[in-house]
A and B are shown apart, each in its own frame.
Chain A
Amino acid sequence: MVYDANVARAATTTDAFNAVAEPRRRQILDALAGGERPVNDLVTLLGLAQPLVSKHLRVLREVGLVASREAGRQRLYRLNGHPLKPIHDWVKNYERSWSERFDRLDVVLEELKEKEKGNG
């Protein structure tokens, strides 16, 4: 899919769920997960034009996922993971249902192992 600059529209700024629906913004979050960075770093990493990166950063700041501070002549951006908690919980619920299944599978496997030992 060709990336369209117009995707960073106002409607996506309402909450963290929408903000992280955009792949480029997730890339920015991933980059910031490694530590604070100035915008130029992100421009290089993502290979996007600076105004576009700034636009995404603005969206991420509006939903509280990214914070920034002045450091000398540059502004450093950092990740604030808190708004991601509901998303984390969302996936965790699905994960829990698989954990329940696999806990039962563990019991089946113990029996199969015992049985195999008995036959061997």
Chain B
Amino acid sequence: MNFVALRMLTGDRAKYFGLVFAIAFCTFLLENQTSIFANILRRTASQILDVTDADVWVMDPKTEYWDQTKALKDTDLTRVRGVEGVGWAVRLFKGTPVARTSTGKFAVSFLIGLDDSTLAGAPRTMLLGSWERLREPDSVVIDKAGYVLLFPKEPLRLDRTLEMNDHLVRIVGISDASPPFQSLPVMHTRYSEAVGFVGRERTQLSFIIVRPAKGVSPAELTARIQSGTGLRARTTKEFMWDCVRYYLKNTGIPVNFGITIVVALVVGTVVAGQTFYLFTIDNLKQFGALKAIGVTNLRLTAMILLQAFSVGALGFALGTGMGATFFEVFQHKLATRHIVLMWQCVGITGACIFFVVIVASVLSIRRVLVLEPAAVFQG
């Protein structure tokens, strides 16, 4: 009887496609909104995640997230290096100077100062130039989005100059650094250069980034550093979640996105669920005839479940395809770069669609089970 169920489902093309597209649209909306939400929050920790050399971050005990820093003392670096289990520990500077072009165009930028000798903490992907050129005096590497912002509609070119805090700096590389939450240009330079490009503060040590010695886990090392120095130490992942939590707690982002997601869920659920329920109601007479003919309730239940899960699976696959296409197109745009369809969002959406299908199936099955087959004789 499975083929009868599927033929009943696909027999009325308009209803069938309506049903599939309702679920596909719901899937697309949910995957789209949850992925954008998650990716935007992830951007609050972009520069943390870009540092792949180190596993542990050390900071002032009161630091809550990336943008909130209080400078450490130079002696703190020595103290951290003295903690057992530290493989190496180097300085990392973070400042927000204004970068200005020769035409007068300017932008507040994230300037990250890397350890002079190791350049540890630099993002891995270079689009033009090389990290090694950071060893040249007054040199910076800028991300592509920052370059386009400061030099709009101009081709990517090295050795262009910027002015920062009365210093003339030269662009020696263009990177693919992850976009920060505030969409500011991201520049990397050596630590000793960075403090000069920002200046005016007595102490400049924003973070210490640490690689554990062999055999020591990052979690274990953070505990040791905290107890040994009194400084706050977090693993890269913990620090990322600190940032995400801070923005969730202190901004209106979750409320705005939450409303959209809830609306998508409610609209999608109601539209998809109701459409399937109405589909069953429209076919009640057919189910009544099948009951009269001698099709068991168990078989009818299986038929409805097959119909619901077929349409649910197809709609979900179609919606996910639409979502994947959307993100594939937009991740190559500058403003929406690195925003991808997250598998976790696909999973959550799949669970929601599964729930919708179950609810619609249960309601439909109930109607069919209580249907008196004698009703089929009534005109």
The judgment on whether A and B are partners is no
Interface of B toward A, CB cutoff 8 Å: none
